[in-house]
Structure 1
């Protein structure tokens, strides 16, 4: 299946954006994207996590407040980049603890998200594996240039937030503004992300009706 997905080529120029997804862009590249509900991580945990992450970056001569800190991170060797992955794993562990209301545990609600992801699959983008957990989403996606990807991610979040709030007769922010993305560098990394997505519900000890897992089996 991975032959339908292209991976990061360090020899090809990348562009960097901030405040939206993806932070890293390369034409037709593949991304592992995570976004979460607004109440998914308690504030004190989030602040401690940011403090630890920023201290790591400073220790590696990277200014965490600089606009291009992700570029500096990518320039580190593979060992350092793998070490930095600990912060993503720590955050994902907190997500799997199911903080917050976990509204996406309701199959009717999580289906709204799944339907949005599939809507333009094969026309605007190539949808990879995804899992919709009680308070977050993990997704592999490819085939969009930068501006189209920016718009698509925001569209997914905006549309599903409207639909979910209407379904629950509620208002206010549903998704956390910040999302997280990883540019998939090679086929081995792609396989690891697929395995992580598949294992996530098991790690969180969810029952079959509490999540949606979709795995692409053909181009």
Structure 2
């Protein structure tokens, strides 16, 4: 792929000369100060019990086939395979799908952009019925988990109060990946923009946003 676009304003890809940290939970998570991330977070009921059990079985089989120590490429391939499977399940529309309701989608939209340009830069996002895709670059010394957690917490309180519900609204762990370079970013932006159409959602019900500065620089969702 040859990209005839300059990087959008504020984008920072993976820097091979800067330190990289990693931790694992159910998924691997890499961190680099100043980097831009592709993040997906979903509602707690977006995956039914049998699907969660399937993921546990998948993890056990993967661990058996790939005993430690495991290198970055092995972890990355595992995370990709989980993401592809889970994305298909989420697009099937399991659970309450609170964000099909415009008032809740608007609250998540507002929460994502609340600290945009103050604590982080948002490149783009799409809000689906039971999950959200987001491109975000936390500013220096600000943790991705903290900012995504804050967004989730605000929307959980908002929906919990409206619906008089208790219990966790969101799945605790998110999928995230450092965006390597401009070409990787372009693929991510197009993937995010196309998600509602892939899921069969009518265009008048799409909730997606792209940074106006990026749009002015030629970066936009390609709906052709």
Whether TM exceeds 0.5 here: the answer is yes
Unaligned runs of 5+ in 2: 1-6, 215-224
Alignment of 1:115 with 2:121, yes or no, is: no
Of 199-208 and 127-136, more deviation after overlay is shown by: 199-208
TM-score by length of 2: 0.82
Partner in structure 2 of residue 106 of structure 1: 101
Deviating beyond 6 angstroms after TM superposition, the runs of 4 or more aligned structure 1 residues are none
Which position in structure 2 is the counterpart of 1:66?
A: none
Displacement of 1:83 in angstroms is: 7.2
Matches within 5 A, 1:1-219: 2-18=8-24, 23-62=29-68, 72-76=70-74, 81=76, 85-145=80-140, 147-219=142-214
Instruction: Between 50-59 and 135-144, report the one with greater CA deviation.
Output: 50-59
User: What SS is found at the alignment partner of 2:213?
Assistant: coil
CA distance in 1, matches of 2:79, 2:26: 21
2:8–2:213 contact (8 Å) kept in structure 1: no
Q: Distance in 1 between matches of 2:102 and 2:37?
A: 26
3-state SS, counterpart of residue 134 of structure 2: strand
Distance verdict in 2 for CA 1:143–1:170, change over 3 Å:
closer
Question: Structure 1 residues 84 and 162 mapped into 2: Cα distance closer, same or farther (>3 Å)?
Answer: closer
Provide Cα deviations, 1:25-82, integer angstroms capped at 9, x if missing partner. Answer: 111101111111111011111211232244235423347xxxxxxxx44245xxx945
In the TM superposition, what is the alpha-carbon distance from 1:191 to its structure 2 partner? Answer: 1.1
C-alpha separation between the residues in 2 aligned to 1:20 and 1:50? 9
Distance in 2 of aligned mates of 1:199 and 1:117: 19
- How much has 1:160 moved relative to structure 2? 0.9
Q: CA RMSD in A?
A: 2.5
Alignment deviations for residues 152-181 of structure 1 (CA, whole Å, 9 cap, x no partner)? 111111111001111223222111112111
Unaligned runs of 5+ in 1: 64-71
